[in-house]
Copies of this chain bind each other. A is one copy, B any other.
Amino acid sequence: MLSHSTGWREVSRAAPVFAALGDETRLALVARLSSEGPLSITRLTAGSAVTRQAITKHLDVLATAGLVSDLRRGRERIWELEPRQMEVARTYLEHVSKRWDEALGRLKKFVED
C-alpha cells in the first residue's frame, strides 16, 4: 500500500488495536476486565470455554496492542485493562464519522449549486 493522503499513519496505528478487539474471546476478556477489575489468568480462564493456554495467547495479543498490561503477584500474573489505548480506536472512529459528515455536506452543496 502506497503512502496515501488519507492519514496512513493513523491507519497503521489504529488497525492493530481493532484487530485485537476483533475476536469474541478477546472482546469478552476486555469486558470482564472492565467490569470485574484486574484478574489472574486462571480466574479469567474459569469464565471462558477455552483452555488456559488459549487465554494466555489472547492476553498476549491484547498486550501487544497495548490494550492490557500485566503485573506479577506471587505466583500469579494479574492482568488489567489499559483504557488509554482504547481511546486511539474511539477517536479514530469519531474522526472517520466527522469526515464522512463533511463529505455529505460537500455533496449537498454541490447538488444545490
A-side interface residues toward B, CB under 8 Å? 1-2, 4, 6-8, 10-12, 14-25, 27-28, 30-37, 47-50, 81, 83, 86, 89-90, 93-94, 96-97, 99-100, 103-104, 106-107
Contact = CB atoms under 8 A, between A and B. Distances in A.
9 contacts: A1-B28, A1-B50, A14-B21, A15-B23, A17-B22, A19-B22, A81-B96, A89-B89, A93-B93
3 closest residue pairs by CB, A with B: A19-B22, A18-B22, A18-B21
Majority secondary structure, A binding face? helix
Contacts of A86: 93, 96-97
Counting every copy of the chain, the complex holds 2
A33 to B, nearest CB: 8
Nearest to A32: B6
A10 B30 CA distance: 12
A97 B31 CA distance: 9
A21 B30 contact: no
